[in-house]
C-alpha cells in the first residue's frame, strides 16, 4: 500500500495547550522555547482513503512551531524544522509529503525543503486554488451575483495562490483589484495580466479601501492577524477565506448577517477516511491542500508538484482533473468552522437585500 504524509503545525499557542494541557500552566515564552527544542513527531495515522480500486495510507507529522514562530524566527531555524519533519515522514515510509499551512509558505514555498530531502514534496496549493475558485463561483451563483461583472478583490495577490487566482479570474472578469504589500510585485503581476489577458487591473496596498468596494473577496494573505473586518464589507458581498491563520475577523460572523463568508478549499475525501486526529472537520472532509497529497499518491505520481511562488494555470487544471478522476469533490459550504445550510444562505440574501435598500433610501 502506497503511503503519504502531511506536515501540520499548531496555528496558535492554544492548539499546543489543547494537545498538552500541562502547557496551560506555563508562560507563553516558556512553551514557545520548549517547542523550538521539541523534534518533529508523528501525530496520527490516516486510514481508509480509497479510490479507483486503490487504497492508500498516511500520517500526520507535526512540525512543532506555531504560526508566529514560523513567521518570526530566523529562516534557517524554521526551514531546518520543516526539513526534519519531512525526513521523519520519509523515514516512516512516505513516498510523497505535503506541506500544510505556513510550512508551505515560509522561505521559498517548499523549494529548499525539496532539495534537502529524499522524497517528493508538494504544498497542495494547486488543488487549493482549484477548489477556492470553484467554491467562490458557486457562492456567487447562490447570491445571484454575475461573476463576470463582479468587482473582485484578491488579498495577498502576489503570493503563489493569489497570483495564479488572479490569472484565472483575469480570463473571465475585467473588474479585478490586486492587494499586496510590495508595490513592485503588484506592478509586475498587473503587467503580466495586461500582456497575457488584455486586462488592466487595479493595484493597491490599502486593504480597507479595496474591501469597501468589493463584491467578492478572495483572501490568501499570510498575515497572523485578521485583515477583513465587519465595518468594511458591503452588504451582500462574498468572502472566500483561504488563509490559515484566517484573514476574516470572527467579528464578521457576529456582526454581519448580510455577508457570505466561506472557507476555501474544503473537500470530501473518497472511501471511508479516518484521520484519527480532530482538525475541526466532520469525518471524511479535509483541506484541499491535504487532499492534493492523497490525489498524487492515488495517481502514483510521486513528483514535486506545487512548489515555489510561480504556479501555472496548467498545474491547477491538471490537479482539478485528477481530483475528479479519483472522486474528490468540493464539500458543502463551511463558514467559521461549521457547515452552512441553504436556509442560512437564503437568510443572508434577504438580510443583504434589506441592507442595500436602506443604503439607497
Q: For the residues of 88-155, what is the DSSP string, one character each?
A: HHHHTT-SEEEEPGGGGTHHHHTHHHHHTSSS-EE--HHHHHHHHHHHHHHHHHHTT--GGGS-EEEE
Report pLDDT for 106: 80
Q: How far apart are CA 130 and CA 127, in angstroms?
A: 5
Q: How far apart are CA 214 and CA 261, in angstroms?
A: 13
- Can you tell me whether residue 255 is helix, strand or coil? helix
What stretch of H or E contains 184? helix 183-197
Residue ranges, comma separated, of all CATH 3.40.50.720 domains in the chain are 132-265+333-360
Report pLDDT for 132: 92
Q: How far apart are CA 50 and CA 102, in angstroms?
A: 28
The CATH code that applies to domain 132-265+333-360 is: 3.40.50.720
Within 13 Å and on the Cβ side, how many CA atoms surround 171? 6
Give the pairing type, strands 271-274 and 260-263.
unpaired
Report pLDDT for 303: 95
pTM for the model stands at 0.89
DSSP state of 183: H
Q: Which three cell numbers stand for residue 16?
A: 499546543
User: Is the distance from CB of 179 to CB of 242 less than 8 angstroms?
Assistant: no
Residue 245: cis peptide before it, omega within 30 degrees of 0: yes
Q: Which residues contact 83 (CB under 8 A, 6 or more apart)?
A: 112, 113, 116, 117
Report pLDDT for 361: 66
CB atoms within 10 A of CB 74: 8
Q: What are the residue ranges in the chain where pLDDT is below 70?
A: 361
Which residues in 167-192 are b (16+ Cβ under 10 Å) and which e?
bbbbeebebbbbbbeeeebbeebbee
Q: What is the largest CA-CA distance in the chain?
A: 66
User: Is the distance from CB of 77 to CB of 279 less than 8 angstroms?
Assistant: no
Which residue in 111, 135, 150 sits closest to 305, CA to CA? Answer: 111
DSSP state of 332: P
- Can you tell me whether residue 36 is helix, strand or coil? helix
Strands (E), 142-289: 152-155, 176-179, 202-204, 216-219, 238-241, 260-263, 266-268, 271-274, 285-287
Report pLDDT for 345: 92
Report pLDDT for 359: 75
Amino acid at each position: 500500500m502506497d503511503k503519504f504524509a502531511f506536515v501540520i503545525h499548531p496555528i496558535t499557542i492554544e492548539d499546543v495547550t489543547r494537545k498538552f494541557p500541562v502547557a496551560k500552566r506555563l508562560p507563553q515564552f516558556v512553551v514557545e522555547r520548549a517547542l523550538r527544542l521539541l523534534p518533529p513527531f508523528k501525530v496520527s495515522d490516516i486510514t481508509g482513503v480509497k479510490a479507483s480500486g486503490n487504497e492508500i495510507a498516511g500520517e500526520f507529522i507535526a512540525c512543532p512551531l506555531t504560526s508566529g514562530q514560523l513567521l518570526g524566527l530566523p529562516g534557517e531555524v524554521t526551514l531546518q524544522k520543516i526539513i526534519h519533519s519531512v525526513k521523519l515522514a520519509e523515514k516512516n515510509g512516505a513516498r510523497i509529503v505535503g506541506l500544510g499551512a505556513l510550512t508551505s509558505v515560509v522561505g521559498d514555498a517548499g523549494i529548499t525543503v525539496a532539495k534537502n530531502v529524499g522524497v517528493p514534496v508538494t504544498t497542495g496549493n494547486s488543488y487549493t486554488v482549484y477548489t477556492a475558485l470553484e467554491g467562490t463561483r458557486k457562492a456567487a451563483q447562490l447570491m445571484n451575483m454575475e461573476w463576470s461583472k463582479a468587482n473582485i478583490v484578491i488579498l495577498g495577490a502576489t503570493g503563489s495562490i493569489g497570483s495564479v487566482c488572479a490569472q484565472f479570474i483575469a480570463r473571465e472578469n475585467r473588474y479585478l483589484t490586486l492587494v499586496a504589500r510590495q508595490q513592485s510585485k503588484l506592478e509586475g503581476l498587473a503587467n503580466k495580466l495586461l500582456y497575457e489577458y488584455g486586462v488592466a487591473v487595479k493595484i493597491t496596498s490599502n486593504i480597507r479601501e479595496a474591501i469597501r468596494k468589493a463584491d467578492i473577496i478572495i483572501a490568501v494573505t499570510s498575515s497572523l492577524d485578521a485583515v477583513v473586518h465587519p465595518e468594511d464589507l458591503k452588504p451582500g458581498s462574498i468572502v472566500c477565506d483561504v488563509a490559515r491563520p484566517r484573514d476574516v475577523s470572527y467579528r464578521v460572523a457576529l456582526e454581519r448577517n448580510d455577508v457570505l463568508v466561506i472557507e476555501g478549499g474544503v473537500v470530501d475525501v473518497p472511501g471511508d477516511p479516518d484521520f484519527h486526529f480532530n482538525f475541526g472537520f466532520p469525518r471524511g472532509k479535509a483541506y484541499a491542500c491535504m487532499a492534493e497529497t492523497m490525489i498524487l499518491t492515488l495517481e502514483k505520481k510521486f513528483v514535486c508538484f506545487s512548489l515555489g511562488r510561480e504556479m501555472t494555470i496548467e498545474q491547477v487544471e491538471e490537479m482539478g482533473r485528477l481530483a475528479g478522476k479519483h472522486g474528490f469533490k468540493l464539500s458543502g459550504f463551511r463558514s467559521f468552522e461549521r457547515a452552512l445550510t441553504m436556509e442560512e444562505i437564503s437568510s443572508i440574501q434577504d438580510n443583504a437585500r434589506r441592507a442595500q435598500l436602506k443604503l439607497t433610501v
